[in-house]
Amino acid sequence: MTATLSRQSSATTVRSHGNGHVPNGALDFAAALQDELQRRIAGEVRFDPVSRMLYSTDASNYQIDPVGVVIPASRDDVLATIEIAARHGIPLLPRGGGSSLSGQTVGAALVIDFSKALSKVLEIDLEGGVVTVEPGINIDALNRQLKPDGVMFGPDPASANRATAGGVVGNNSTGSHSILYGMTGDNVRAVTAATVDGAVLDLGPLASSALARPAIAAGAMGPRSRTAPSTVAAVTACTLSPVMP
């Protein structure tokens, strides 16, 4: 899912025209953006042609050059990348394993690749029936860590050795066991999400008493709400419900 920010920028023109020429203004903007990202984050910042070519495709038939690629080393890197992109009006594109078949992980945006470093299991709570993970962990790796406890994440897409937790949550993925265990959305208990305006939200189920309140029952854009909700830029943690196979 691409978080498209409100202001437009020449950064999305950092692609060569048919004659191979890249406008000087676009090159200058990309260089300035790359420099700011490198000064602010501890992870990798890749704006070179080879990296942009590698991230221009996924498992679909689409090919679109990204503005650049950030491989964050921590959640702080993710938040700094979002802040910089928002200030410059750059679209953001969170990416996991790139196993999507409909082009969800390609676009003329700043790609944030969670799969390299933000791929850990944060907590396994068997008594509470939940596991909390970073979005870059792939489903096979998650299930290997859950196996000694006799549980697994039920919706297992065919691409489970590549598909990441953040990706399956974003796509509400299914798999061969989904007829038994449900879709991914049926197995998500909570997510931690970062918005384009810098907020970090812990999103989870609401109590029935909260749902009964008029402001919530009317929806986020109901008559009592005067401020539009911010766009979620990326999920930084997922709390999932494992099942007994």
Residue of 146, 122, 117, 118 lying closest to 133 (CA atoms):
122
**Same domain, yes or no, for 69 and 135?**
no
Could you tell me the residue range of the domain that residue 81 belongs to?
Answer: 10-113
**Same domain, yes or no, for 50 and 141?**
no
| Total residue length of the chain | 245
pLDDT tens profile 62-106: 999 999 999 999 999 999 999 999 999 999 999 999 998 999 999
Would you say residue 1 lies in a domain? no
**Same domain, yes or no, for 41 and 152?**
no
- The band of 26, judged by pLDDT with boundaries at 50, 70 and 90, is low
- The band of 29, judged by pLDDT with boundaries at 50, 70 and 90, is confident
Cα 185 from Cα 188, distance rounded (Å):
5
Lowest mean pLDDT among 39-53, 94-108, 186-200, 223-237: 223-237
Q: Residue 37 belongs to a domain with what CATH number?
A: 3.30.43.10
Tokens of 172: 């509400």
Last residue of a domain, one of 89, 113, 137: 113
Q: Residue 129 belongs to a domain with what CATH number?
A: 3.30.465.10
**Same domain, yes or no, for 88 and 179?**
no
Cα 194 from Cα 215, distance rounded (Å):
23
Domain count, the chain: 2
**Same domain, yes or no, for 14 and 106?**
yes
Report which DSSP code applies to 147: G
Would you say residue 5 lies in a domain? no
Cα 13 from Cα 16, distance rounded (Å):
8
Report which DSSP code applies to 164: B
pLDDT tens profile 116-159: 999 999 999 999 999 999 999 999 999 999 999 999 999 989 99
Q: Kindly report the pTM of this predicted structure.
A: 0.82
